[in-house]
Homo-oligomer: A and B are copies of this chain.
Amino acid sequence: MTPSTIVTLFDVQQAAERIRPYVHRTPIHTSSALNRMFGAQLVFKCENLQKIGAFKARGAVNAVLQLDQATAQRGVATHSSGNHAQALAYAAGLRNIPCTIVMPTSAPAVKRSAVLGYGATIVDCAPTLAAREATLTQVVEQTGAHVVPPYNDIRVIAGQGTAALELLEEVSDLDIVMAPVGGGGLMSGTAVACRGMQPNIDVIGAEPSVADDAARSLRDGVIHPAPTTQTIADGLRTSLGDVTFAHLRHHSVDIRTASEESIVEALYLVMERMKLVIEPSAAVTLAVLLEQPELVRGKKVGIILCGGNLDVRTLMHGVTVGF
């Protein structure tokens, strides 16, 4: 890979300057109960409290703000049923440019209305990757829109790295920084920020055992597709791209996996002990620690809680009048 496709700490620092007026500097939370439980100092970077409820706002804003005026005026587009859809719609709204989101018909109504709420247009497609890509190609041909990919893009990676940058600016002496791995955008940016700021920090990625394609890809030196197995961590069902794969290899990111049971338990723990709503993808890091507590015993550990877009109404159908 050529140097121009490797994101540097300087790129992340420039992204931080660029996006600062448009995203939250998210707070850092701790829990004495969890610290006692793990015999460690756990420090949580709360990207669930970020704009659109997830770190994805950082990368999308960083990409959209860099478009020249002529490109921007033709609009931006992507295919996504998740947080990247909202993030790109939010970013496009900041420049008041058109935004088209190709969305599978299976996407929940709540996600559709969030995207529409940011002023974007939704184009429906069948719920397959082939249909998503074909529909996006059509949109681009018809509108001339610029595609902002969800993770396999150096502007997006640089933006996502700003979460770890803020964490390292505020918290000293971290031994380990952990983030979840889906397509690898957050993990790539996190690795760039950590290696650039404090090279001795252990950078650990977390993914579901039933979707361990990133761990296998790094082990085998080739990108494996994500298994079709469903994980509760719906944000982590994607495989690495060539750009993110290169970053994770370059920075020797250690990937650990956790079972679905541990992910659910970690989700409960964060909600009970920290009173924070997180999505299942954000619980995978703590789930790894539930299975491998020796990783962090006696250590100071930064954990990026990537998002909070949990489908509360569906999951809490137990909350009814007179329950």
Contacts and interface: CB of A to CB of B under 8 A. Distances in A.
Nearest to A46: B275
A318 B321 contact: no
Contacts of A27: 27
Interface in A304-323: 308, 310, 312-323
A322 B260 contact: yes
Interface in A276-323: 276-278, 280, 308, 310, 312-323
Contacts of A201: none
Contact of A232 (B271, B312, B322): B322
A272 interface: yes
Interface residues of A, number: 33
Contacts of A310: 271
Contact of A315 (B53, B267, B318): B318
Contact of A271 (B312, B314, B321): B312
A318 B319 contact: no
A163 to B, nearest CB: 15
B321 A261 contact: yes
A49 interface: yes
Contacts of A38: none
B268 A312 contact: yes
A264 interface: yes
A124 B271 CA distance: 28
A318 B323 CA distance: 15
B48 A275 contact: yes
Nearest to A259: B321
A19 B320 CA distance: 37
Interface string A244-273: 000000000000000011001001100110
Given A268-B312, A312-B268, A275 B49 contact: yes
A267 B264 CA distance: 21
A230 interface: yes
Contacts of A232: 319, 321-323
Interface of A: 27, 29, 48-49, 53, 230, 232, 260-261, 264, 267-268, 271-272, 275-278, 280, 308, 310, 312-323
27 contacts: A29-B49, A48-B275, A49-B275, A230-B322, A232-B319, A232-B321, A232-B322, A232-B323, A260-B322, A261-B321, A267-B319, A268-B316, A268-B319, A271-B277, A271-B310, A272-B277, A272-B313, A275-B277, A275-B278, A276-B276, A276-B277, A277-B277, A280-B319, A315-B316, A315-B318, A315-B319, A316-B316
- 7 tightest Cβ-Cβ pairs between the two chains A and B: A275-B308, A260-B321, A275-B277, A315-B318, A48-B275, A271-B312, A271-B277
Given A264-B320, A272-B277, 8 more contacts: A27-B27, A53-B275, A230-B322, A232-B323, A260-B321, A268-B313, A271-B312, A276-B276
